[in-house]
């Protein structure tokens, strides 16, 4: 499972002209799922994200987590995070999870993130053509791969 975390001052997701998610301050999380991912990956990743100290404290030092700041989160499914680009110029998505595997894991990720933070998480729509808008704060952008956690 891969995640791209972007600290934002605002973010939104629009599908077919309809805004389905909208936050002011927090994290926009793009999540890519592969067939080999499990609940263990979800547990580790959601705990890591909730406690990751990437928000400024009173002195402007990145010393606070989204959990501590009460920031909001939007989670967006992003199969292209598993693109293979080594050969040729057309990315291969063979490592990306098939929908029958990825959808339940994506939903479990969102539910576990809500449990970690004790609040509702906004989302895009799995498989939809989404327009994602954000104002990256910092900019702070991190990439986390659960297969590289050791």
78: Cβ–Cβ under 8 A, 6 or more apart, which residues?
A: 4, 30, 31, 32
Dmax (CA) for the chain in angstroms is 48
Residue pair 65/48 in contact by the 8 Å Cβ criterion: no
Partnered with residue 55 across adjacent β-strands are 64
List active site positions: 78-80
Nearest to 123 by CA among 2, 44, 16, 31: 31
Q: Which of 103, 102, 123 is nearest to 113 (CA)?
A: 123
């Amino acid at each position: 499972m891969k995640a791209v975390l972007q600290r934002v001052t605002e973010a939104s997701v629009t599908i077919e002209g309809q805004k389905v998610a909208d936050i002011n301050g927090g994290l926009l999380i793009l999540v890519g799922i592969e067939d080999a991912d499990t609940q263990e990956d979800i547990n580790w990743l959601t705990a890591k994200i909730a406690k990751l100290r990437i928000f400024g404290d009173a002195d402007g030092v990145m010393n606070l987590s989204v959990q501590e700041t009460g920031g909001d989160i939007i989670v967006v499914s992003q199969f292209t995070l598993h693109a293979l680009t080594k050969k040729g110029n057309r990315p291969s998505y063979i490592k990306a999870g098939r929908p029958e595997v990825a959808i339940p894991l994506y939903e479990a990720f969102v539910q576990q993130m809500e449990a970690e933070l004790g609040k509702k998480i906004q989302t895009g729509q799995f498989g939809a053509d989404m327009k994602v808008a954000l104002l990256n704060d910092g900019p702070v952008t991190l990439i986390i791969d659960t297969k590289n956690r050791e």
